[in-house]
């Protein structure tokens, strides 16, 4: 299994694309979030991932920087389906708020003919807390991250041999979810900024964390590897070094601070 970060920034950055990523296993792709717009298609192109080979998408929550890129995937898929050119189907997984928003967008933006393929080729899959689905050959469990701002789900991906990846979306981890994430092989957590710059970026007012906070959470959960993302963009070029240095003071496992388009072997 391979993880490719398409974007690693928070909602209003310009130095990175918004946070979204692809999990890939044996030529099968699972897209998690879409970033904030059509630039998703550039990122997929740069990563060498054909959009028409993505058959599974999960949207963590309905915020602009996660959901709007998905409209472009829907556009491409509905066009392909309505012209009889689609190979296979597209499943879009999301909680009730996400699915409601995507259904509404789709209904008002796309043609009546294209809308005939909704749930008949382009399938909205409503997920509840604890639901499991087989996606790209792995069991994926969806969980409510108990976010403060809006209903948001994360995922636990079974990597086999007792290994698992936990993605906590873009808000600070809620202790109530500890049983889900304890001892994970890979833990993906947002780091809005450095602790040393918290007074500048004010992460706590936005339900976000610093690299230090994320590291302390990861240490408490006893995970092996911590992936930090969804950051500000004032440290482009030095972010990896700075965030890794800060997080490593509080977390004894491996710290990853991927750049946009960076790939990690899981």
Identified binder of Zn ion from the candidate list 114, 144, 170, 232, rule CB under 5 A: 170
Give, as ranges, the residues between 6 and 25 that touch Zn ion (CB under 5 A): 11
* Least distance between Zn ion and beta carbon 66 (Å): 6
Q: How many residues bind Zn ion (CB under 5 A)?
A: 3
Return the beta strands (E) in the chain as ranges.
2-7, 20-25, 28-32, 54-59, 90-94, 122-126, 132-135, 138-144, 153-160, 163-167, 186-190, 225-229, 254-256, 263-265
| Distance separating alpha carbons of residues 106 and 157, to the nearest angstrom | 28
56 touches Zn ion by CB under 5 A:
no
* Least distance between Zn ion and beta carbon 63 (Å): 5
Cβ contact 177:146 at 8 Å = yes
* Least distance between Zn ion and beta carbon 179 (Å): 25
Among the candidate windows 38-46, 63-71, 90-98, 112-120, which touches Zn ion by CB under 5 A?
A: 63-71
Q: What is the DSSP string of 142-167?
A: EEE---SSS--EEEEEEEETTEEEEE
Residue number with CB closer to Zn ion (182 or 204): 204
* Least distance between Zn ion and beta carbon 266 (Å): 22
Among the candidate windows 49-57, 104-112, 170-178, 254-262, which touches Zn ion by CB under 5 A?
A: 170-178
65 touches Zn ion by CB under 5 A:
yes
Q: What are phi and psi of 246, to 5 degrees?
A: -65, -50
Among the candidate windows 41-49, 162-170, 172-180, 213-221, which touches Zn ion by CB under 5 A?
A: 162-170
* Least distance between Zn ion and beta carbon 155 (Å): 16
Q: What are phi and psi of 220, to 5 degrees?
A: -65, -30
Cβ contact 261:7 at 8 Å = no
Name the residues that contact Zn ion, by CB under 5 A.
11, 65, 170
């Amino acid at each position: 299994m391979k993880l490719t970060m398409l974007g690693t920034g928070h909602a209003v950055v310009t130095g990175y694309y918004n946070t979204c990523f692809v999990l890939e296993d044996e030529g099968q792709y699972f897209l998690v979030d879409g970033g904030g717009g059509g630039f998703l298609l550039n990122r997929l192109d740069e990563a060498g991932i054909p959009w028409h080979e993505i058959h599974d998408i999960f949207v963590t929550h309905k915020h602009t920087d996660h959901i709007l890129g998905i409209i472009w995937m829907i556009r491409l898929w509905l066009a392909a389906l309505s012209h009889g050119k689609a190979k296979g189907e597209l499943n879009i997984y999301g909680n009730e708020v996400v699915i409601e928003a995507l259904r509404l967008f789709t209904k008002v933006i796309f043609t009546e003919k294209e809308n005939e393929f909704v749930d008949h080729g382009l399938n909205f899959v409503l997920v509840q807390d604890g639901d499991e689905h087989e996606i790209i050959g792995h069991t994926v469990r969806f969980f409510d991250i108990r976010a403060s701002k809006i209903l948001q789900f994360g995922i636990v991906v079974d990597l086999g041999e007792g290994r698992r990846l936990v993605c906590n979306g873009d808000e600070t981890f809620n202790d109530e979810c500890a049983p889900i994430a304890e001892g994970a092989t890979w833990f993906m957590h947002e780091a809005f900024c450095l602790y040393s710059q918290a007074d500048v970026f004010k992460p706590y007012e936005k339900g976000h964390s610093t690299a230090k906070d994320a590291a302390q959470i990861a240490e408490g959960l006893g995970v092996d590897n911590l992936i930090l993302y969804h950051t500000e963009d004032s440290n482009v070029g030095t972010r990896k070094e700075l965030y890794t240095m800060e997080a490593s003071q509080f977390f004894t496992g491996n710290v990853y601070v991927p750049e946009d388009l960076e790939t990690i072997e899981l």
